[in-house]
Structure 1
């Protein structure tokens, strides 16, 4: 059984989370600059067995796609060309950044640590992955 990798796609940075081999535990992996996302994932897939890529699906409050959705679709199209056999799933990601920030507060991180936007993105990816695992 392979891992599940989750992506919280952003225009500047992208948070990445991954499960263990048994797909039981979701953990933050890292945050990468979005222009380095495809090479990072390609290198990761060479080292680890991954069954599914879960990509956050951002929407507005009224349910319409957010502005970044076009960028995400471009990434997905390029990804499917490079990795045609990889399963791609989408998971609603509304408010995950807010939940990630609250998680940081609840964890007792100091104010300076909570300003780390890369950490927020990584935690948001973990929340996307946890939601996917919970409802699949």
Structure 2
């Protein structure tokens, strides 16, 4: 079942305490043409951008994600959910939800949706601070955005777990 976090609709909110607390997590930042991928370390202390996938077809995307899950031994997949600034659904939200449902049907690991508002803005700031500009910034932006989303997912899960402890 796709698990949706920070959704504007409380009926869809699923407790993320079920997300694995150890083992690598992978995140995708879905775009219309490119998909950024990031992965955590096994203790989920650090996150790093790892890949930029050019979207050709669902089959191509799924094969690449399956390959990356195996390579990094990921325990769960987080899909960025692009909500509007006020928290409402957008056209891309529907596409991200559809992608997450397809991953959920095709993969043997849990799939979570996570609010990605401002992730691109934050990622751009990280890259600017390291001196990335122009083409180099554009090449790294989607994967860096996935890293921002994954970091927020882990932080949110940890805050909920410590609050409920």
TM-score (norm 2): 0.73
Kept in 1: contact 2:25–2:40 (CA 8 A): yes
1:87: which partner in 2?
110
Q: Which runs of 4+ in 1 moved over 6 A?
A: none
1:33 and 2:54 correspond: yes
What CA RMSD, in Å, does the superposition of the two structures yield over aligned residues? 1.6
Superposed CA deviations along residues 90-122 of structure 1, whole A, max 9, x for unmatched, are 2211111111111111112244533x2x31101
- Aligned CA distance change for structure 1 residues 107 and 47 (closer, same or farther; 3 Å): closer
Q: Which runs of 5+ in 1 are unaligned?
A: none
Matched, 1:128 2:160: no
**Number of residues paired by the alignment?**
133
Once residues 81 and 60 of structure 1 are traced to their aligned partners in structure 2, the CA distance between those partners, rounded to angstroms, is 26
- TM-score by length of structure 1 reads 0.87
Q: How far did residue 9 of structure 1 move?
A: 0.6
How many angstroms apart in 2 are the aligned matches of 1:15 and 1:106? 20
Instruction: Choose between structure 1 and 2 for higher RCO, CA contacts under 8 A separated by at least 6 residues.
Output: 1
